[in-house]
Amino acid sequence: MTAPERYSYLGPEGTFTWEALRQVPAASDGEWVSVSNVSEALDDVVSGASTYAMIAVENSVEGGVSATQDALAELPDLRIVGEYLVPVRFAVVAPTGVSLSDVTVLAAHPVAYAQCRKWLEQNIPHHSHSSSLSNVRAAEDALSDPDIHAALAPKGISERLDVEVLADDIGDNPTAETRFVLVRRGGAVPERTGADKTSIIAELPDDAPGRLLEMLEQFATRGVNMSLLESRPIGDAMGRYRFVIDLDGHVHDERVADALMGLRRFSPKVIFLGSYPRANGHVPEVSPRYTDDAFIEAREWIRDVAEGGSSQA
Amino acid sequence: MTAPERYSYLGPEGTFTWEALRQVPAASDGEWVSVSNVSEALDDVVSGASTYAMIAVENSVEGGVSATQDALAELPDLRIVGEYLVPVRFAVVAPTGVSLSDVTVLAAHPVAYAQCRKWLEQNIPHHSHSSSLSNVRAAEDALSDPDIHAALAPKGISERLDVEVLADDIGDNPTAETRFVLVRRGGAVPERTGADKTSIIAELPDDAPGRLLEMLEQFATRGVNMSLLESRPIGDAMGRYRFVIDLDGHVHDERVADALMGLRRFSPKVIFLGSYPRANGHVPEVSPRYTDDAFIEAREWIRDVAEGGSSQA
Amino acid sequence: MTAPERYSYLGPEGTFTWEALRQVPAASDGEWVSVSNVSEALDDVVSGASTYAMIAVENSVEGGVSATQDALAELPDLRIVGEYLVPVRFAVVAPTGVSLSDVTVLAAHPVAYAQCRKWLEQNIPHHSHSSSLSNVRAAEDALSDPDIHAALAPKGISERLDVEVLADDIGDNPTAETRFVLVRRGGAVPERTGADKTSIIAELPDDAPGRLLEMLEQFATRGVNMSLLESRPIGDAMGRYRFVIDLDGHVHDERVADALMGLRRFSPKVIFLGSYPRANGHVPEVSPRYTDDAFIEAREWIRDVAEGGSSQA
Amino acid sequence: MTAPERYSYLGPEGTFTWEALRQVPAASDGEWVSVSNVSEALDDVVSGASTYAMIAVENSVEGGVSATQDALAELPDLRIVGEYLVPVRFAVVAPTGVSLSDVTVLAAHPVAYAQCRKWLEQNIPHHSHSSSLSNVRAAEDALSDPDIHAALAPKGISERLDVEVLADDIGDNPTAETRFVLVRRGGAVPERTGADKTSIIAELPDDAPGRLLEMLEQFATRGVNMSLLESRPIGDAMGRYRFVIDLDGHVHDERVADALMGLRRFSPKVIFLGSYPRANGHVPEVSPRYTDDAFIEAREWIRDVAEGGSSQA
């Protein structure tokens, strides 16, 4: 009998990251390690302390998580093996006995606070905001500090802390969600499912005009669609960027492999972060020109041609 | 005699934003309004409480400032009229009598802390980090809270607070700098200097493959170089982005105006944020094909041709 | 009362060029000048001897007519004002009394002969070919030379010469047709009809890789479709080409004018040959992005923006 | 002992084609078969009557030879194995005793006549032109027909016919030359020399706007330069074209093979006509991004990545 796999995640129980990890079937048998930020989770994977880390990469309202993107670019040999979406629903929670009209000081993580601003202005117009380091911590602050009357937190927190839900689903954007990825160190690429994503990070060869265009043409000429393009500073000088890119398809798809080879020749530095099933299960439409069969047929044709065989189409 | 212009900035005195504002000659006669975050500064401009706001848009290590980019996209009719670069230099400061070896708790804004991590690991290996809301606040925390021994802050803070500099220029990246822009509401575009930048925000018409490539071709076919491309979520659904773009050149340059017209036809939503002198004074090389003269000559040629004149080159 | 306009055409009566000229309503009142080749027809226009010349530019089987394309590139200030399609139908004609089984020597212009080869092999397997200088001359040769029994010619020749049609419509390609254009010197561009074509000739700036691609992008980024691209040698050295291009649309269409301006800036030499109604009456679909309204709106927007007006879309 | 290889060429001795064939070292031991046009030469190769045919493909003044290009597109399994350049130099030749001032009727092939027009206008202003079927035939006509006083022909004709050279090198364009290719049926591709060319013919998938651009991007994204692009009608309808293309490089060059595979996936019909040494010996510059090593390295990288190996650049 082997030891259970360890999963590091931004805890404690009840965070959105924790909800993401609950979506991983294999994790139910694993050991869950609550850590206090993304860096710690990734360090656990790099050091081998954990096999997996669940980390937030993007919020549909706030955008990409810079710390995650930079860590994926800089830490060696990380691989994304899964993607998960968690709806971002905020509630106002408070210790028993507090009602909404009592609230004049509200604890909230700044990002959470920003996402509920409109509701708060209308429903608690005269409150002040006390900044907390996480959503769960905000609820804890509301319990421990008598000067804080309530907190913004995920509704589920009421299952674990002694707080009550005064109002639920108060985010300004009802469709807000956060995208998480499960990463581990190296190892086999997950099998392709037909609804896959491939994540890479690439630098441009230099800052000549049109270089980004040239890079994107590597994908376009192979019919590979891009669902994400984010620039992040390389860090050595203002104006130098690397690009975080998500592609539709799997490295085992011929068109994706061909595009990545083109990118590899073009870019002085390409990092392959992994191919993995998409959280939304969307199967991309692939033109007949870019199917595996089309690539295999073309490869056989060029071999025949190069060896002196007949060339007619 | 008229009232002085008001400039809102992220204060208090001594912040990097304050240093940026010191670079604006006209501001020396103005009234400086210290506010506590970017939103407040921009709100002052929108409401007319201030004429100008100085706001950070990008750090060479941390990347674009999301809150600024989103505010520029969503607030009506803001215009960038100047760009300023401030070197990011951190010092360890402490109340008189404290020496480096005494420090076990260090106050720091998380971004500042992240940028000094290597030096801190080597020089104060056994400290813990207390999170502060700004660099100046960190120094204040070190003064007011006896459990906090020192703080990360800009060196200049020692001119205004009763702290001493224990170590200077300790950032991991000695070339780190932050880019600020001065914004106001509407009004005339600053005159072109030959070393200008134009900032825009644009959305793609739909998510068909290759759309971003098409958008970038609007610039490339007019010889307009792009110095920044950042994606930001529109916010209504995962995977929908707008793009924050800086172009070399001024809207009064023919090639830039022509590219912007192409973009306007292509994109369902384009926001012109302004044309203004570049902080680094860099004059872009313009191919003879894309000079104002080339555009004017081509326009005269097509008029002649369309009216039945001679067409030979 | 003014003198009638003169029309030069490759004669004599009965040629395909003559049939093209019959399609021009205004020509019915003109004076028709039969000449013996395309150069003479164009020389008449350049010298002012004729106002118009009808010349063949392309055959659907044989391709572009090099002599015409080169003359349009080299003669000054020619303008195409109309386009006409003539079906290419060949008949076997012979003096009265000759039947198909009598034919052992057949006169034909080499191009006509090439286009009827299959029918001739099956139906007159044992003939020999006598080369004639034109289709009409072939029929004349069959009348005047007793060693020549029959000729390939347009069926209509039997209305003017004393020959009978032994077999009609014998071309290998039943849809073959020839495209003619009516040219004159300078003058006003024909009004736009919505179903127009614009013809140009352009050179590349140099032979750097990718130059042709760059040139074609001038059209693509304005949504202008290309119906013809032919390369012709400039003549000074092997491997140097100019390009004969037909575009969908009229120079009075904003998108076409904008593309031509782009081309003018790109190319060291552009010749505008004219905008004129298409022979086939096809109205191109124009994306909303490239309508006149889109161009006008974008121009007004950029003016407003450049003058400091509000920029929101 | 084997029979000598047979070479078909447009004869008789003394033609430019004959001069091209003299440039082929191996042909000196072969049997030379003089034929009367390009079709016969290619038919000999298709039927097996000859192993090789030498055919003209392009003249630096007149452009591509349509008949050759169409035959290469339509005959099965032809391969180009060599390329040869022949300067086009015309002389005025005449039977002994004739001087330039005696010439009032001049025999000439129409293409030759067109290329010497300026000299003739200045030096024999009052002559008339008698059309001949080839340059050599023109000289023969001048010998056999007393009404014809002189002929345009290659100077070398005076070695084989009883004519004298009255004036040499009289072409309007002193650098004019004709490009010939040696073709045979199928068989091994000539070895790469580093200064090679690859010829193909390709059709577009449909007539959607931008298709030609897409096709050219297949070459551009692999750094493959194009030295020739000619359109030829497919023949079934006006406006439908195939493209005759010459690329720098050899099908055994990785970048060329990769571009051809891309083209094969894109185009419904691609004909590979061969890779062979360039006549001008020009060695193309290849960016480090597109060398064989770059392709091999990228292929090894993607294999490693796809199998779960480390991905860092």
List, in sequence order, every residue forming a beta bridge with B271; answer none if it has no partner: B201
Model confidence pLDDT, tens digit, residues B261-277: 999 999 999 999 999 99
CB D152 within 8 A of CB D108: yes
Q: Which of D131, D229, D239 shows the shortest C-beta gap to C231?
A: D229
What burial letters (b/e) apply to C18-48, b meaning 16+ CB within 10 Å? bbbbbbbeebeebebbbbeebbbbbbbbbee
Inter-chain touch A268–D76, beta carbons under 8 Å: no
> Which of B187, B264, B273 is the closest to C301 by Cβ?
B264
pLDDT (0 to 100) of residue A156:
85
Chain A residues closer than 8 Å to B133 by CB: 131
Question: What average pLDDT does range C16-27 have in this prediction?
Answer: 96
Which of A243, A215, A179, A204 is CA-nearest to residue B230?
A243
- Residue A251: what pLDDT? 97
Arithmetic mean of pLDDT, D96-117: 90
* CB pairs < 8 Å spanning A and D: 122
Mean pLDDT (chain C) is 92
Is chain D touching chain B, with at least 3 CB–CB pairs below 8 Å? no
Average pLDDT of chain B? Answer: 92
Is there a contact between A267 and D313 if contact means CB atoms under 8 Å apart?
A: yes
Mean pLDDT for A87-92 is: 94
Tell me if domain C91-168 and domain C189-313 are identical in fold. no
State which residue of chain D sits closest to A276, comparing Cα positions: D306
Nearest to B71 by CA among B245, B295, B273, B223: B273
Q: Which fold has domain B188-313?
A: Alpha-Beta Plaits (3.30.70)
pLDDT band at B174 (very low <50, low <70, confident <90, very high): confident
> At D291, is the secondary structure helix, strand, or coil?
coil
DSSP letter string over B10-72?
E-STTSHHHHHHHT-GGGGGSEEEEESSHHHHHHHHHHTS-SEEEEEEEETTTEE-HHHHHHH
Cross-chain residue pair B313–C189, CB shorter than 8 Å? no
pLDDT of C200 higher than 70: yes
Looking at residue A312, its pLDDT comes to: 55
Which residues pair with residue A165 across a beta bridge? A93
Residue A1 has pLDDT above 60, yes or no: no
What are the tens digits of pLDDT across the range D149-177? 999 999 889 988 999 999 999 999 889 99
Q: pLDDT digit string (tens) for C71-89?
A: 999 998 999 999 999 999 9
CB within 8 A of C287, min separation 6: which ones?
A: C223
C12 preceded by a cis bond (ω within 30 of 0): yes
> Residue A311's pLDDT band (boundaries 50, 70, 90)?
low
The reply to whether residue A225 touches residue B209, judged by beta carbons under 8 angstroms, is yes
D46 min Cα distance to partner chain A (Å): 13
Strand arrangement, sheet containing A128-131: A128-131, A105-108, A150-153, A91-95, A163-168
CATH number for the segment(s) B1-87+176-187: 3.40.190.10
The distance of A73 to chain D (nearest Cα, Å) reads 10
Min Cα separation B184/chain C (Å): 12
CB contact under 8 A, C188 and B221: no
Select the residue from D231, D238, D280, D286 to test the C interface by mutation, using most C Cβ atoms within 10 A: D238
Tokens of C11: 């004669």
Torsion A299-A302-A306-A311 (CA) sign: positive
Q: What are phi and psi of A84, to 5 degrees?
A: -140, 140
Fold of C189-313: Alpha-Beta Plaits (3.30.70)
pLDDT in tens, A146-173: 999 999 999 889 988 999 999 999 999 8
Best A238, A247, A282, A287 residue to mutate vs chain B (most B CBs within 10 Å): A238
Measure Cα distances from B146 to B99, B143, C76 in Å: 14, 7, 90
Mean pLDDT value of segment B281-298: 94
CA-to-CA dists, residue C134 to A114, C160, C178, angstroms: 83, 16, 15
Neighbours of D, requiring at least 3 CB pairs below 8 Å, are A, C
Burial code of A161-191, b = ≥16 C-beta within 10 A, e = fewer? bebbebbeebbbbeebbbbbbbbbbeeebbe
| Interchain pair A239, B227: CB under 8 A | yes
Residue B311 has pLDDT above 60, yes or no: no
Q: Which residue of C has its CA nearest to D216?
A: C213
Do D264 and A217 make contact, defined as CB atoms within 8 angstroms?
Answer: no
Report chain A residues whose CB lies below 8 A from the CB of D298. Answer: 261-262, 264-265
Mutation site for D-interface testing, chosen from A46, A199, A311 by largest number of D Cβ within 10 Å: A311
Contact C66 D62 (CB under 8 A): yes
Q: Hey, are the CB atoms on C221 and B262 less than 8 Å from each other?
A: yes
**Residue D263 Cα distances to A244, D75, D219, angstroms:** 29, 21, 8
Neighbors of chain C by Cβ distance (3+ pairs < 8 Å): B, D
The whole-number average pLDDT for the span A3-14 is 91
> What residues pair up with A59 in beta bridges, in sequence order?
A63, A178
Return d(Cα B161, Cα B279) in angstroms, integer.
30
What's the mean pLDDT in C285-305? 94
Q: Which residue has the higher pLDDT, C13 or A219?
A: A219
Q: Which chain B residue's Cα is nearest to A246? A: B239
Give the rounded percent of residues in chain D with a pLDDT score beyond 70: 98
Q: Which of B198, B247, B265 to mutate to test the interface with C (most CBs of C within 10 A)?
A: B265
Half-sphere exposure of B306 (CA within 13 A, CB side): 18
The yes or no reply on domain D1-86+176-187 and CATH 3.90.1150.10 is no
Left if phi > 0, otherwise alpha if psi is -120 to 50, otherwise beta: which for D97?
left
Could you tell me which chains touch chain B, where touching means 3 or more CB pairs under 8 A? A, C
Please determine, for residue C261, whether its predicted confidence score (pLDDT) is greater than 50: yes
Residues A97-106 have a mean pLDDT of 93
pLDDT at C313: 47
Which residues of chain A have a CB within 8 Å of the CB of D305? 189, 251, 260, 272
Give chain A's mean pLDDT. 92
In this prediction, residue A286 has a pLDDT band, given cuts at 50, 70 and 90, of very high
Per-residue pLDDT reduced to its tens digit, A291-302: 999 999 999 999
Q: Is the pLDDT of residue D79 over 80?
A: yes
For testing the chain D interface, which of C36, C238, C241, C255 should be mutated: the one with the most D CBs within 10 Å? C238
Residues of B in contact with A59 (CB under 8 A): 233
From the CB coordinates, do chains B and A have 3 or more pairs under 8 Å? yes
Structure tokens belonging to residue C159: 């209305």
The pLDDT value given to residue D313: 47
pTM for this predicted structure: 0.90
Q: What is the pLDDT of residue A216?
A: 94
Find the CB nearest B308 among C189, C260, C312.
C189
Token pair, residue A220, equals: 């376009």
Q: How far is A170 from chain B (nearest CA, A)?
A: 16
Q: Which of D264, D270, D293 to mutate to test the interface with A (most CBs of A within 10 A)?
A: D264
What is the full DSSP assignment across D196-250?
Answer: EEEEEEEE-S---TTHHHHHHHHHHTTT--EEEEEEEE-SSSTT-EEEEEEEES-
Condensed to tens digits (0 to 9), the pLDDT of residues C47-59 reads 999 999 999 999 9
CATH for the C91-168 domain, from 3.20.20.70, 3.40.50.300, 3.40.190.10, 1.10.940.10: 3.40.190.10
DSSP assignment of D7-35 equals EEEE-STTSHHHHHHTT-GGGGGSEEEEE
Q: In this complex, which of A66, A114, A177 lies closest to B238 when CB atoms are compared?
A: A177
Nearest residue in chain B measured CA to CA from A232 = B63
| Mean pLDDT (whole number) for D105-133 | 88
Who among C222, C271, C307 is closest to B313 (CB)? Answer: C271
* Full DSSP string of B142-195: HHH-TT--EEEE-GGGGGTSSEEEEEE---SSTT-EEEEEEEEES-PPPPP-SS
Mark yes or no for CB contact B305/C268 under 8 Å: no
- Domain assignments of chain B as residue spans, ordered by start: 1-87+176-187, 91-168, 188-313
Q: What is the DSSP string of chain A?
A: -PPPPEEEEE-STTSHHHHHHTT-GGGGGSEEEEESSHHHHHHHHHHTS-SEEEEEEEETTTEE-HHHHHHHHHSTTEEEEEEEEEE---EEEEETT--GGG-SEEEE-HHHHHHTHHHHHHHSTT-EEEE-SSHHHHHHHHHH-TT--EEEE-GGGGGTSSEEEEEE---SSTT-EEEEEEEEES-PPPPP-SSEEEEEEEE-S---TTHHHHHHHHHHTTT--EEEEEEEE-SSSTT-EEEEEEEES-TTSHHHHHHHHHHHHH-S-EEEEEEEE-TT-------GGGSHHHHHHHHHHHHHHHTT-----
Residue C151 pLDDT grade (very low, low, confident, very high; cuts 50, 70, 90): very high
- Listing DSSP states for D98-153 in one string gives --GGG-SEEEE-HHHHHHTHHHHHHHSTT-EEEE-SSHHHHHHHHHH-TT--EEEE
Which positions in chain D touch A309 (Cβ < 8 Å)? 186
Q: What is the pLDDT of residues D11-48, one digit of tens each?
A: 888 889 999 999 999 999 999 999 988 889 999 999 99
Confidence band for A124, pLDDT divided at 50, 70 and 90 = very high
Chains A, D in contact: 3+ Cβ pairs under 8 A? yes
- The residue behind tokens 């003879």 is B288
- Confirm if C253 and C192 have CB atoms less than 8 A apart: yes
